[in-house]
Amino acid sequence: MTTTEEMWKTLYALIPITAKTSHLKALVLTYGHQVVIGRDITCDLQINSLEISRRHAILKSEDNNWFITDLESTNGLYINGKPVIAFSPYCLAIGDKISFGPSDQSKVVFEFVDDYCLSQRRAVKTPKRKLFDLNNENRDQLAVKRARNEWQQLFDSELSCAICHELFITAVSLNCSHTFCQSCIEEWKHSNDNKHHSSDGSDDEEDELDIRVINNDSHCCPVCRQTIVSQNRVLVLDNTIDYILQKWSPKLQEEEKEEEKDEEVSEEEEESEEYNVGGYHCVQIGDTFRRKRYLVIRKLGFGAFSTVWLCLDKKSDEYVAIKVVKSKKCFQESAQEEIDILSRIQSSDPNVERVVTFIDSFKIRGPNGKHVCLVFEVLGDSLMKFMNTSHKHGIPLNILKTIIRQVLEGLVYLHTKCMLIHTDLKPENVLLTINESQIGRMHSEVVDMIGGEKPLPTSFVSTASAKLIKKCDIYFKYDRQKCLKNVVKLNSKTRNNFIHNTISGEENLSEISIKIADLGNACYLYETHNSTIQTRPYRSPEVILGAGFSPTADIWSVGCMAFELATGDILFDSHETVRMSRNANHLKKIIEHLGPIPKSCRKGKYYNKYCTRSGRVIGCKRKSQYIIQSIDKLLVDEYEWDSTEAQKFADFLLPMLRIDSGIRTTASECLRHPWLNS
């Protein structure tokens, strides 16, 4: 066996079992990359200049063997119930049961799938060194959707060979749904291949069994005699485990390559399938709306229900943003409700500073139906996009104070003058303002491209327009065939030059200005409030418990948003687990950071569904199951904030995050807080 030092030199992926992964996407690992799963981020050991955790690591050697080693963990590493000596790598084999500590409850069973090292809880794909968190209890079964869809599916019963009826670990599944053990399928295949070779005289070497298309009609299932089109390899971790790998096929590999090819572009484009009856309207640069009053200049973005376009208002000679809503009836009705609310806001104060300015509305008819169009002032990127582009680990506090102050000023106006509750405050719905010169640059870039040889980015036009140009050519008013043929996909960096004209440089950051947008879900204070509102990470406890809501629900969202902008992480990142629903898990995280649910909040219609009489979450009744950590301690321990600054920020957040909405602070009171004005 190679020495520990030599093995670290050939390290493919370093996976300490105690750090924090990002969710909903694969994390690409590099040499020495620390991946924390739990809350302990102790990291003071170095091997060959690699900074690693003091707990455990999994690695792959040059001879393609997988090893696990214990790096002075607290509980110790146990393989098949036997302890492993620290710093002594153990070569894993199929069926090995790994536990961290002597407890049987934390048992993990590993399997090897080509270049995958797989466990019931996490897996590593070595060619690109991607870590997938499949079912990690420390992170509440945080599951990567892409990994599950690619090679994991639920399996309800024990597997046995259709011929010999023996249980197996490695199996072959045919398109007729019968499954066979390796030995039986090889014997069957060999006998059929011999018949085939004797008939045509071919001496070709036998192909691998893993992925192979068989076009010969003589290949039939040994049980049902159905013709076999293809055969796929399925690997099962254990004959009692609930999860197995999804049937592997070349199609999945092609989809993965296609995903990687368009990974940067896909986030900027709507689905072409949505350009149908009831869906998006086909818009092109040069189109005009409302009797040629509005001229389409370029595309600004899209949402689940609409596309947004930069247009020139020929009447006022100013730039506007026009939201073209999908034509389905429910979207039309929702848009009309939004128009009524926006009109109310505009009539209360036409010069309001912190809420998006609504200018006009009209309807258009296209090949996909009737579309409601809303005209707004032009705004820049959302806070979410701004943070992800420039400040992934948090916005500087002086800028954060400016942003939160302006958001609260907007809420004061909505709550007191308009008598409205926003109900969906989040970074995506707070937009940065831009000036006329920045809008002009966006316009001139398009003009230069159309007039010259430079192709238009796909972000400037509807994604599907080029694909549907032949079908919809009769509807288009201008001949754009030559222009659209030159449309190309730009990489992320190039596209950002067109999209992110909002803010650049620390000097402009000090003058940052925002406006609250997307009031389509807003409701009046005097209405009955029993529905579910707010996007999940910003949802208040009274909404989860079904206890009704008030304007202070918006204040809760601001508190969650302030923490996220300051740290780059969601405060209450909840996920469904085997024992708890997502709502229950959300309440558990609230309790961990803010304390127990007060008796005054136990009147909600869903309280008994998620909580016990004592105020603990169902499925998490023992006190030891809660990781109690106050906001200020969280900032110090996990984000390395100065304790004084963390305490001041926590003092600002806690009144907004009071679990009892009746004593939660208001927007006006928040504006007077010392932290915001320091």
Together in a domain, 611 and 664: yes
Together in a domain, 486 and 574: no
Together in a domain, 234 and 280: no
Together in a domain, 65 and 176: no
Answer yes or no: are the C-beta atoms of 308 and 325 closer than 8 Å: no
User: Is 26 domain-assigned?
Assistant: yes
User: Is 57 domain-assigned?
Assistant: yes
Annotated binding site for ATP: 323
User: Is 415 domain-assigned?
Assistant: no
List all residues 6 or more positions away from 145 whose beta carbon is below 8 Å from its beta carbon.
Answer: 24
In the 8-state DSSP scheme, what is residue 488?
B
Buried b (16+ CB within 10 A) or exposed e, 376-389: bbbbbbbbbbbbee
List all residues 6 or more positions away from 199 whose beta carbon is below 8 Å from its beta carbon.
Answer: none
CATH number of 228's domain: 3.30.40.10
Starting at the edge strand that comes first in sequence, how are the strands of the sheet with 27-28 ordered? 27-28, 130-133, 122-125, 116-119, 108-113, 97-100, 77-79, 82-83
Query: How many domains is the chain partitioned into structurally?
Result: 4
pLDDT of residue 82: 78
Neighbours of 545 (CB within 10 A): 23
CATH number of 100's domain: 2.60.200.20
Answer yes or no: are the C-beta atoms of 465 and 282 closer than 8 Å: yes
Average pLDDT over residues 246-262: 41
Together in a domain, 318 and 460: yes
pLDDT of residue 240: 23
First vs last C-alpha separation in the chain? 61
User: Is 332 domain-assigned?
Assistant: yes
Answer yes or no: are the C-beta atoms of 335 and 374 closer than 8 Å: yes
Together in a domain, 301 and 355: yes
CATH number of 473's domain: 3.30.200.20
Question: Which tokens hold the place of 160?
Answer: 């046995």
- The residues that bridge with 213 in the sheet, in sequence order, are 230
Answer yes or no: are the C-beta atoms of 376 and 323 closer than 8 Å: yes
User: Is 131 domain-assigned?
Assistant: no
Q: What is the pLDDT of residues 441-499, one digit of tens each?
A: 655 555 544 444 333 333 333 333 333 322 323 222 233 333 333 322 322 333 344 33
* Residue 272: HSE in the Cβ half-sphere, 13 Å Cα cutoff: 10
User: Is 597 domain-assigned?
Assistant: yes
The β-bridge relationship of strands 122-125 and 430-433 is unpaired
Identify the active-site residue in 424, 518, 554, 632: 424
pLDDT of residue 672: 96
Rounded to whole angstroms, the Cα distance separating 482 from 15 reads 52
Q: With CA atoms as reference, report the closest residue to 589 among 659, 670, 532, 662.
A: 659
Answer yes or no: are the C-beta atoms of 542 and 661 closer than 8 Å: yes
97 pLDDT above the threshold of 50:
yes
Distances (CA, A) of 519 to 55, 540, 666: 48, 18, 20
| Residue carrying the six token digits 């040889």 | 453
Active site residue 70: no
Which of 303-307, 533-537, 547-551 has the weakest average pLDDT? 303-307
In the 8-state DSSP scheme, what is residue 314?
T
> At 69, which helix (H) or strand (E)?
strand 66-70
Compute and round to an integer the Cα radius of gyration of the chain: 29
> Which 3 state secondary structure label does DSSP give 325?
strand
417 pLDDT above the threshold of 70:
yes
Annotated binding site: 323
Question: Which tokens hold the place of 346?
Answer: 């505009």
> At 119, which helix (H) or strand (E)?
strand 116-119
| Burial of 641 from C-beta contacts in 10 A (0-12 / 13-18 / 19+) | buried
Which of 431-440, 501-510, 649-658 has the weakest average pLDDT? 501-510
Q: What is the pLDDT of residues 609-619, one digit of tens each?
A: 999 888 888 88
- Where helices occur in 134-210 by DSSP H, the ranges are 145-151, 182-200
Give the range of the structural domain holding residue 577, as residue numbers without chain letter. 528-676
Answer yes or no: are the C-beta atoms of 392 and 568 closer than 8 Å: yes
Q: Which is higher by pLDDT, 660 or 166?
A: 660
List all residues 6 or more positions away from 155 whose beta carbon is below 8 Å from its beta carbon.
Answer: 236, 241, 242, 243, 244
> Which 3 state secondary structure label does DSSP give 615?
coil
Buried b (16+ CB within 10 A) or exposed e, 269-283: bbebebbeeebbbbb
Together in a domain, 178 and 323: no
* Amino acid in the structure at residue 222: P
Answer yes or no: are the C-beta atoms of 243 and 237 closer than 8 Å: yes
Together in a domain, 644 and 548: yes
Distances (CA, A) of 375 to 42, 277, 363, 630: 53, 23, 11, 44
DSSP assignment of 340-365, as one string? Answer: HHHHHHHHH-TT-SSBPPEEEEEEEE
Together in a domain, 296 and 346: yes
pLDDT of residue 64: 52
Q: What is the pLDDT of residues 195-205, one digit of tens each?
A: 444 444 433 33
User: Is 511 domain-assigned?
Assistant: no
> Which 3 state secondary structure label does DSSP give 173?
strand
Together in a domain, 448 and 572: no
Average pLDDT over residues 54-78: 55
Question: Which tokens hold the place of 248?
Answer: 């592997």
413 pLDDT above the threshold of 80:
yes
Rounded to whole angstroms, the Cα distance separating 129 from 257 reads 15
Which of 85-99, 339-353, 492-506 has the weakest average pLDDT? 492-506
